[in-house]
């Protein structure tokens, strides 16, 4: 039996009472975090044009776009919300799975809750947690022991189709067989590649939106009786054979399904850039604060990184140290470390089209050199960081960071997430009314007490 059947059963049968308490609380933080980053991304390039196009198309008024309050067909509203949520590259991540779960699961549930009505906060949490478990297992099981960055896929988008379909299928009340069909229909659409990162293209931030639009459509088609491949994950022409040449672990994919939820290991980002940059920013901040290093005294900076980080975030150094655009800055070790040294922090205003012209940070980034260190290679987790700063006064300081801030090993509290939420709102181009912001924070904190998610959606959307 294909693993799709096991996941379909999971989506159909698991209830809120089956979730561990710590998972419930972690999911609340994940949901608040998504709302914040989506508010912050509401006017950013890519999502902005997507919204304009969707409004030109129009259609059935089924679900709302966050912040703007536009009523659109559910797949289109979800697509825009997901794209806004990924625009800042500030959304949650599962390091080992190389996945951004919330930007797939939360827009899907939000759109269906608005479409259907009567979806409780408990059901919202359960669907998000189950979706996070599914998408993370799909990633963790792929090519275990290998560095998946080398194969060119953008795994959030690629696995987002199947995940969104299964999540939507649960909320629509599909049978187990129909959820299997929905996953199969979604598999027929699966795509997503890493080339936009190489080229600094806006399609990087649009990928999850494509997947949730396709996933919701897949579930709606299954509801109408359309069939999909039954063996979409493990069949002879299934996902793992076609996309990964059979290199996957069935044990990792399905072990303790329904008992262990991998969504407990989702991290929340403290810095608005690729998660792989975070341990390097942590290392640089530790150095400048612990040793009172001033930017003017820095003679040189050397970075050591693992092979996946080196290829994705380290080279070509001439681009990473002098970003061509915002996307380049979000995917650059040199830029992240230089920013941390100069600003003694790393915030939203440091990864913008304006920020990349900051001559002080550019001069600091020009002092960066880097090497691949095989001892830092990790195939099953985010790769650690080692950063060295040499000063003009002759001192050399080195810092090693194994786990970045925001990981399960160094988690953010709900209060930390609330602070991040408000920090994002303080810089958002489209202002969020204070009454709405305070209500969102309170409702999410007590989400398991909310009877109908429309109460929350009403304060997430306005004109």
Residues 361 and 329 in one domain: yes
Q: How confident is the model at residue 122 (pLDDT cuts 50, 70, 90)?
A: very high
Co-location of 420 and 282 in the same domain: no
pLDDT at 149: 80
d(CA 47, CA 38): 10
Per-residue pLDDT, 10: 97
Tell whether 136 and 262 lie within a shared domain.
Answer: yes
- Mean pLDDT value of segment 110-137: 98
Mean pLDDT of 400-412: 93
pLDDT score of 106 more than 90: yes
Q: pTM here?
A: 0.90
Mean pLDDT of 391-404: 96
Within a domain: residue 406?
no
CB-based contacts of 145: which residues, under 8 Å, 6+ apart? 379, 380
202 and 282 co-located in one domain: no
Residue 74 lies in a domain: yes
Looking at the predicted structure, is the pLDDT value of residue 379 above 80?
no
* Average pLDDT, integer, range 336-362: 96
Task: Tell me whether residue 139 is in a domain.
Answer: yes
pLDDT of residue 200: 87
Q: How confident is the model at residue 228 (pLDDT cuts 50, 70, 90)?
A: very high
Residue 109's pLDDT is 98
Query: How far lies 400's CA from each of 285, 367, 458, in Å?
Result: 12, 19, 45
Over residues 69-74, mean pLDDT: 98
Range scoring the smallest mean pLDDT among 213-217, 313-317, 324-328: 324-328
Same domain, 309 and 424: no
Residue 415 confidence class, pLDDT cut points 50, 70, 90: very high
User: Residue 335 pLDDT more than 80?
Assistant: yes
Is 82 contained in some domain?
yes
Token code pair at residue 449 = 């007490």
What does the pLDDT average to over 132-136? 98
- Considering 370, 401, 432, which residue would you say is the last residue of a domain? 401
Question: Do residues 379 and 420 share a domain?
Answer: no
- pLDDT: which is higher, 200 or 134: 134
Structure confidence at residue 463 (pLDDT): 75
Mean predicted confidence (pLDDT) in 360-370: 98
- Do 179 and 223 fall into the same domain? yes
Query: By the 8 A CB rule, do 232 and 183 touch?
Result: yes
For residue 280, what pLDDT band results from cuts at 50, 70 and 90? very high
Q: What is the CATH number of the domain that holds 365?
A: 3.30.1330.120
Average pLDDT of every residue of the chain: 96
Rounded CA separation 88/348 (Å):
8
* pLDDT over 90 (residue 125): yes
Domain shared by 97 and 238, yes or no? yes
Q: What is the mean pLDDT of residues 221-229?
A: 98
pLDDT in tens, 181-220: 999 999 999 999 999 988 989 999 999 999 999 999 999 9
Give the structural domain span for 347: 275-401
The reply to whether 407 falls in a domain is no
Asked if 310 and 389 sit in the same domain, the reply is yes
Q: Could you tell me if 106 and 133 lie in one domain?
A: yes
Instruction: Reduce the secondary structure of the chain to three states and give it as a string.
Output: CCHHHHHHHHHHHCCHHHCCHHHHHHHHHHHHHHHHHHHHCCCCCCHHHHHHHHHHHCCCCCEECCECCCEECHHHHHHHHHHHHHCCCCCCEECCCCECCHHHHHHHHHHHHHHHCCCCHHHHHHHHHHHHHHHHHHHHCECCCCCHHHHCECHHHHHHHHHHHHHHHHHCCCCHHHHHHHHHHHHCCCCCECHHHHHCCCHHHHHHHHHHHHHHHHHHHHHCCCCCCCCCCCCCCCHHHHCCCCCECHHHHHCCCCCCCHHHHCECCCCCCCHHHHHHHHHHHHHHHHCCCCHHHEEEEEEEECHHHHHHHHCCHHHHCCCCCHHHHHCCHHHHHHHHHHHCCCCHHHCCCCHHHCHHHHHHHCCEEEEECHHHCCCCCCCCEEEEEEECCCCEEEEEECCCCCCCCCCCCHHHHHHHHHHHHHHCCCCCCHHHHHHHHHHHHCHHHCCCCHHHHHHHECC
Token readout for 180 is: 């299997």
Residue 452, pLDDT > 90, answer: yes
- Residue 381 in this model has a pLDDT that exceeds 80: no
What pLDDT is stored for residue 461 in this prediction? 93
Which residues are registered as beta bridge partners of 388?
A: 302, 398
The CATH number that applies at residue 80 is: 1.10.4100.10
Residues 51 and 126 in one domain: yes
Q: Which residues pair with 142 in a beta bridge?
A: 248
Residue 198, pLDDT score: 87
297 has a pLDDT exceeding 80: yes
Quick check: is 20 in a domain?
yes
Q: Is the pLDDT of residue 439 over 90?
A: yes
Read off the pLDDT band of 46 (50, 70, 90): very high
- 356 and 229 share a domain? no
Residue at which a domain ends, from 356, 382, 401: 401
Q: Indicate whether 84 pLDDT > 80.
A: yes
pLDDT of residue 150: 84
Reading the block at residue 227, the tokens are 């069939």
**Rounded Cα gap, residues 46 and 325, in angstroms:** 13
Residue 227 domain-assigned? yes
The predicted model gives 279-288 an average pLDDT of 98
**Encoding tokens for residue 95?**
């390091």
Domain count, the chain: 2
351 domain-assigned: yes
Last residue of some domain: 401, 420, 442?
401
């Amino acid at each position: 039996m294909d693993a799709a059947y096991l996941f379909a059963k999971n989506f159909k049968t698991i209830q809120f009472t089956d979730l561990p308490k710590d998972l419930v609380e972690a999911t609340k933080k994940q949901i608040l975090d998504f709302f914040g980053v989506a508010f912050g991304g509401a006017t950013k390039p890519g999502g902005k044009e997507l919204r304009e196009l969707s409004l030109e198309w129009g259609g059935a008024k089924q679900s709302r776009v966050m912040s703007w309050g536009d009523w659109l067909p559910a797949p289109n509203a979800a697509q825009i919300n997901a794209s806004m949520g990924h625009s800042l590259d500030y959304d949650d991540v599962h390091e080992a799975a190389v996945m951004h779960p919330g930007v797939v699961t939360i827009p899907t549930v939000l759109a269906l809750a608005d479409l259907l009505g009567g979806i409780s906060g408990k059901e919202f949490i359960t669907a998000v947690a189950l979706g996070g478990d599914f998408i993370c297992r799909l990633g963790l099981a792929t090519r275990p022991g290998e560095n998946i960055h080398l194969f060119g896929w953008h795994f959030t988008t690629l696995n987002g189709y199947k995940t969104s379909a299964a999540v939507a299928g649960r909320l629509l009340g599909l049978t187990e067989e129909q959820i299997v069909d929905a996953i199969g229909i979604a598999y027929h659409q699966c795509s997503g590649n890493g080339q936009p990162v190489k080229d600094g293209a806006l399609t990087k931030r649009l990928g999850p939106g494509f997947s949730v639009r396709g996933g919701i459509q897949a579930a709606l088609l299954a509801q109408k009786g359309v069939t999909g491949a039954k063996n979409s994950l493990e069949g002879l022409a299934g996902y793992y054979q076609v996309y990964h040449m059979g290199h996957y672990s069935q044990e990792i994919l399905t072990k303790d399904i329904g008992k262990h939820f991998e969504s407990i290991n989702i991290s929340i980002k403290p810095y608005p850039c690729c998660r792989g940059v975070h341990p390097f920013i942590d290392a640089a901040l530790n150095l400048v604060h612990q040793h009172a290093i001033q930017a003017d005294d820095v003679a040189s900076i050397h970075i050591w990184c693992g092979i996946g980080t080196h290829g994705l975030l380290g080279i070509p150094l001439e681009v990473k140290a002098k970003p061509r655009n915002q996307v380049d800055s979000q995917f650059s070790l040199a830029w992240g470390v230089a920013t941390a040294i100069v600003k003694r922090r790393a915030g939203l205003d440091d990864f913008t089209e304006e920020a990349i012209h900051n001559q002080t940070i550019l001069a600091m980034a020009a002092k960066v050199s880097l090497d691949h260190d095989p001892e830092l290679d990790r195939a099953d987790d985010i790769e650690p960081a080692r950063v060295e700063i040499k000063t003009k006064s002759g001192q050399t300081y080195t810092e090693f960071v194994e786990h970045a801030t925001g990981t399960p090993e160094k988690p953010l509290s709900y209060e930390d997430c609330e602070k991040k939420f408000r920090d994002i709102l303080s810089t958002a181009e489209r202002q969020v009314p204070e009454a709405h912001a305070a209500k969102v924070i309170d409702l999410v904190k007590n989400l398991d007490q909310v009877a109908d998610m429309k109460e929350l959606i009403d304060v997430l959307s306005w004109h």
